[in-house]
Structure 1
Amino acid sequence: MNIAASLLSLAEDTLGLHLPIRLRAWDGSAAGVPGAPVVVIRDKRALRHILWKPGELGVARAYVQGDLDVEGDLGEGLRAMWDAVREARASDELAGRPRIGPRQVARAVGLAVRVGAIGPRPAAPAAESALTGELHSRERDQAAISHHYDLSNDFYELILDPTMAYSSGFHAAPDMTLEEAQTAKLHLVCRKLGLQPGMKMVDIGSGWGSLTLFAAEHYGVHVTGVTLSVEQRDHVLARAAERGLSDRVDVSLRHFRDLAASGVRDGGIDAIASIEMGEHVGDAEYIVFVDSIHRYLKPGGRALIQQMSRSNGSPADHPGGGPFIETYIAPDMHMVPLATTIGRIAASGLEIRDVQAMREHYPQTVAGWAARLEAGWDTAVKLIGEEQARVWRLYLAGGSLAFEENRMGVDQILAVKPSPRGVSGMPASPLDWLT
């Protein structure tokens, strides 16, 4: 029996499309399109993962544990798969959608028996999140952030640029390096906020302090950052001390709902930024989030929210981006279409003044992170283990493709809190911050 041919036939029957791949099984058998991306099933355990958890998560588990792999460029392999799905759905609305009925189940079990792949449910990779407690409670939010961001500061220093910006850069000119694009993004955010020396600014979800430190150092503002990650807080405070910025930078380990405990007073803040943190707030809590921003800002104060979104056609049952992202990367993340976010910000009393789409910038940014990961692969494995390193390789390849194909987006939304008489203090033209 050609095991590879049997597996490929079953997969195509289940998915309802022709797969543009070459499949190679653990016994050396091969089938599929010559010259296409090669999917390698290295161990029978991969089949058990998929049998026990059909769909994206089962495949991801097999990949993360090294039982399934892709030879060559992983991103190109994923792109070929998505192209095939789109083409199939264009000709048949049911094609490209998993059909796991009695016939497919019986066929899969029968094949598994014949190749000796039947067995108990394999253990899930240790890299999976396992959150408990009430959704978006302070404790669960901290656990969700810790799962991803407390991985290792040394690892993030390996893949990020020297500013430690973990968000989309602004590739304002062709051939910008990762560091140049991130620096351009930081300047853009600060100019949009109209920062001037002596102003008070809050950075909600301050991460490793790329914006917090940059605004304090280059624009002379006093910045209060908040994060739920111990590793991030300690990193920022250490960098602030090294650069002589401790008198202008304060970072607290707090939830955004507890800003008052950091000395932030109602109506006392000139500018608030939240860079790719709003999508972690949660659907029900987002109103509290934007109402808090409105409350803390002075009249004429500005808010800049850079936030990821999902397209209107994305599955509503996976607002975090899909089973893999929601299980391994960002548990409890909740993305909504851009229009929904704008409506919620406006409903708080903030006035929307500018929206800048940056979707095409994200794949360029991710390409820089992926290149650094591959160049430092052996170091990454030593720092976080091979399973986590493989999680990141899959995450960067799949995430980049989601932005490239408009399944996900990212935007900078600039808003202002007008005075009671409607005075905004905003410049007449966006050229004020673009030049």
Structure 2
Amino acid sequence: MPSVTTTADPATRRTDRTGGRPGAADLLRPHLDRALGGRLPLRVRLWDGSELGSGDGPLIVVNRRRALRRLLWQPGELGLAEAYIAGEIDVEGDLGLALRTVWDAVRGSALRPVRLSAADRARALGAAVRVGAIGPRPAPPGTPARLRGVPHSKDRDRAAIHHHYDLSNDFYALLLDETMAYSCGYWTSDAPDYGSADAQRDKLDLICRGLRLTSGSRLLDIGCGWGSLTLHAAARYGARVTAVTLAVRQAAYVRARVTELGLDDLVTVECRDYRDIAGDGYDAVATVEMGEHVGDAAYPAFAATLHDRLRPGGRLLVQQMSRGRNAPGGGAFIETYIAADMHMRPLGETVTLLEGAGLEIRSVTALREHYVRTIDAWHRTLDARWSDAVALVGEETARVWRLYLTGSALAFAERRMGVDQILAERPCPATPLAP
């Protein structure tokens, strides 16, 4: 590694690769500090070996000047995410700690981005020209969602679900445990031999008990994923399950598992939109982390559908992510690369919408801390099987997932996001009081 020499400003260093000339960091630092309203709280090593920023934590390595060009065209979260996905930026050390450090600086007002004047922008542009960062807009890396049509129309919802959930059954099998549950687990033990699959089974039992499933109970599983609840409810409780998903590959996987387990007499799998579900009189309805995809304007109709599919006295279990009152929920990166058109709201607003559909809330179980452990388990698996993941989906998509899991775990750990099981019931008609 080239030797490092210290300039008059200890926060800006350059290596001998600059040949004694001002390094890219020397040219860019004043403009970066001005734009951010303070010094970047992380060390950054640029493509020529020069460094800027401060701190003893993770080191951000800018491998190519194209990263700066990308940020000029797409400032903010999405530009940074795309530079990471493309491999133009790397992190030496803990990626989660790097994200937390920047978030804390913004939240704590150590960084106060300012509105740049025309003169400021002109000087920054001149510095960008000198370091060779000016050029055509770089193409987005990976596979961002490209949706058309009216938000939350049936065709657009199908495309959004296909983008994320039909990525690759083999990839999800690599990432998840043997239950294939892609949702928050319920961790009931700290024993060394208790793992992700145990937490998922405990979550499935929590749902089935709440729904009071018994042999012959009719269960509608809306957004069934890879069938974890469907298969558990049929095999362990004897429920007769109608499983519904929009994802073609998920439906094919669940059908194969149903046949493999000898559950064809108990389970029907339908690949359809929730708005096209026929029939009513179900004893129980479950929707596990599907409501986030419904959209804000469509949620009252979704809640009415949940109500109408149940018989009087039937039970509903909604497991759904929420956002903190002052937290954004989602963000440009998530909505572009993971869950397009996703909408999250504070828990209380979802409860109000369900009550407005005529459902009686029976209980709410908060699982936020459980999601941190669940995502950490997925992340450890991704890191341990990185080369296999890259072989399945390519390095850029694997980097999308590393960034997604890291950021999601941090959001739940810092209470910016939550997840809850909402148990409700369709009331029976009131019995007239005796005279």
Q: Decide: shared fold, TM above 0.5.
A: yes
Mapped contact 2:322–2:419 kept (Cα < 8 A): yes
How many residue pairs end up in the alignment?
A: 409
Mapped contact 1:86–1:96 kept (Cα < 8 A): no
In structure 2, distance between residues paired with 1:37 and 1:412: 36
Mapped contact 1:204–1:274 kept (Cα < 8 A): yes
Mapped contact 1:17–1:84 kept (Cα < 8 A): no
1:112 aligns to 2:128 (yes or no):
yes
Match in the other structure for 1:429 = none
Match in the other structure for 1:235 = 253
Amino acid at match of 1:257: R
Secondary structure class of the residue paired with 1:360: helix
1:296 aligns to 2:309 (yes or no):
yes
In structure 1, distance between residues paired with 2:409 and 2:322: 14
In structure 2, distance between residues paired with 1:12 and 1:255: 49
Residue 271 (structure 1) aligned to one of 271, 284, 302: 284
1:164 aligns to 2:180 (yes or no):
yes
In structure 2, distance between residues paired with 1:169 and 1:232: 20
Match in the other structure for 2:275 = 257
Match in the other structure for 1:428 = none
Secondary structure class of the residue paired with 1:23: strand
RMSD after superposition: 1.6
Match in the other structure for 1:203 = 221
Residue 307 (structure 1) aligned to one of 311, 316, 320: 320
Mapped contact 1:271–1:302 kept (Cα < 8 A): yes
Matches within 5 A, 1:252-401: 252-260=270-278, 265-266=279-280, 268-315=281-328, 321-401=330-410
Mapped contact 1:18–1:84 kept (Cα < 8 A): no
Q: Residues 211, 313 of structure 1: CA spacing in aligned structure 2 closer, same or farther, 3 A cutoff?
A: same
Q: Deviations over 1:368-400 (max 9, x none)?
A: 000000111001011001110000000000111
Mapped contact 2:69–2:138 kept (Cα < 8 A): yes
Q: Higher Cα Rg: structure 1 or 2?
A: 2
Match in the other structure for 2:423 = 414
In structure 2, distance between residues paired with 1:284 and 1:87: 34
Stretch of structure 1 that moved more, 73-82 or 46-55? 73-82
Secondary structure class of the residue paired with 1:79: helix
Match in the other structure for 2:49 = 28
Match in the other structure for 1:84 = 105
Stretch of structure 1 that moved more, 105-114 or 62-71? 105-114
Q: Residues 127, 8 of structure 1: CA spacing in aligned structure 2 closer, same or farther, 3 A cutoff?
A: farther
Q: Residues 235, 344 of structure 1: CA spacing in aligned structure 2 closer, same or farther, 3 A cutoff?
A: same
After TM superposition, the score normalised by the length of structure 1 is 0.91
Residue 102 (structure 1) aligned to one of 118, 131, 142: 118
Secondary structure class of the residue paired with 2:368: coil
Identity %: 55
Q: Deviations over 1:313-366 (max 9, x none)?
A: 024xxx5x1100010000000111111100000000000010111111111110
Q: Residues 200, 84 of structure 1: CA spacing in aligned structure 2 closer, same or farther, 3 A cutoff?
A: same
Mapped contact 1:16–1:99 kept (Cα < 8 A): no
Stretch of structure 1 that moved more, 18-27 or 189-198? 18-27
> Which 5+ residue runs of structure 2 have no aligned equivalent?
1-21
After TM superposition, the score normalised by the length of structure 2 is 0.91
Match in the other structure for 2:95 = 74
Cα offset for 1:422?
6.9
> Which 5+ residue runs of structure 1 have no aligned equivalent?
90-94, 424-435
Q: Residues 113, 141 of structure 1: CA spacing in aligned structure 2 closer, same or farther, 3 A cutoff?
A: same
In structure 2, distance between residues paired with 1:229 and 1:388: 19
Amino acid at match of 1:288: A
Match in the other structure for 1:129 = 145
Cα offset for 1:22?
1.0
